[in-house]
Amino acid sequence: MILYKQDQMSDKRKRKIKNINLSIEEKPERPVYIFTNSRARVKFIMKCENIIRRSQEYKEYMIFLKNHMDMRRCTVLKGLNTDNGKRYSIEIHHGPFKLIEIVDTIINKREALGESLNPFYIAEEVVQLHYDEKVGLIPLSITMHELVTNDKIFIPLQYYYQQYDKFYEEYEEYIYEGTKEKIKMFIDMSMKCDSIQSDVLEPEFVYVNIDGFNFPEIPEEWGNLIQKVDIENIQYDTN
């Protein structure tokens, strides 16, 4: 064991302290991030979107929606759900504002107000919008999700959960004009119909007749049976 004398310890602890007082008249300004082109901006938006989807807060919120807000069932095809151990995959779709449009709007707002464009700050603000119920959401199966994303199926606005109109009111001046026109069109279409609209949900048979070849004929009752089954399985919620 090494023992130090008291005077040796006190000498080491006593150090000379010198205070220097400085006054700064001009503080450095926060640098503004400028996108060199639209491609760089899209790449940045996708980076923010990836951070959002991978965040623990976002994942927990999706789990909450499925477990407590009845989002375990596809809105288009009611028979597809994850209840009773079924292995259907149900995804949460953002609408009428897509997630990429929400992120773009937040970036526009931060640019206009001179706020930080740190992608983690942007992701935090977008996730908070979810918790504040200002983002429209709807549960869909994988196939229906793809069809809705590609505008093959139109879902009236009254089907979406949460108050997406609050997002529009709060960020209206920062929303891209093309997005505003899309929302206005959705409102007009939703006022004219109260059910999900799509041509892809109706079966259609195309027969090609070529001289010299005999193709097997499909009995007419087969088509009637398929159509009957589809109508029974697709139950539209008109509430």
Q: Tens of pLDDT along the chain (239 residues)?
A: 444 445 554 555 667 777 888 777 776 665 556 788 889 999 999 999 999 999 999 999 999 998 899 898 899 888 888 776 667 789 999 999 999 999 999 999 999 998 999 999 999 999 999 999 999 999 999 999 998 988 888 899 999 999 999 999 999 999 999 999 999 999 998 998 878 877 666 655 565 665 655 554 545 554 454 444 443 444 433 33
Domain-located, residue 20: no
229 found inside a domain: no
pLDDT of residue 89: 87
Dist CA 65 CA 137 (whole Å): 10
User: What is the pLDDT at residue 17?
Assistant: 77
Asked if residue 13 belongs to a domain, the reply is no
Cα gap 132→153, rounded to integer Å: 28
State both tokens at 146. Answer: 């793809």
pLDDT recorded at residue 232: 41
Q: Is 18 inside a domain boundary?
A: no
Domain span at residue 53? 32-197
**Cα(207)–Cα(203) distance, integer angstroms:** 13
H helix count then E strand count, the chain: 9, 2
Examine residue 223 and state whether it is found in any structural domain, yes or no.
no
Nearest residue to 156 (alpha-carbon basis) of 73, 236, 69:
236
Output the pLDDT for position 213: 54
Q: Is residue 214 part of a domain?
A: no
Compute the CA torsion angle 188, 194, 196, 198 (nearest 10 deg).
-60
Predicted confidence at residue 227, as pLDDT, reads 46
Does residue 11 lie within any of the structural domains?
Answer: no
The answer as to whether 230 is a domain residue is no
Q: How far is CA 90 from CA 72, 97, 100, 143, 183, in A?
A: 6, 19, 20, 10, 25
How many domains does the structure of the chain reveal?
1
Q: Supply the pLDDT for residue 206.
A: 60
Q: What token pair was written down for 99? A: 């997630």
Which tens digits make up the pLDDT trace of 195-209? 887 766 665 556 566
* Contact criterion met (CB below 8 Å) for 126 and 167: no
Instruction: Report the pLDDT value the prediction gives residue 47, as an integer from 0 to 100.
Output: 94
DSSP 23-36: --SSPPPPPPP--S
Q: How far apart are the C-alpha atoms of 234 and 228, rounded to whole Å?
A: 10
Distance CA 163, CA 88 (A): 28
Q: DSSP assignment, residue 68?
A: H
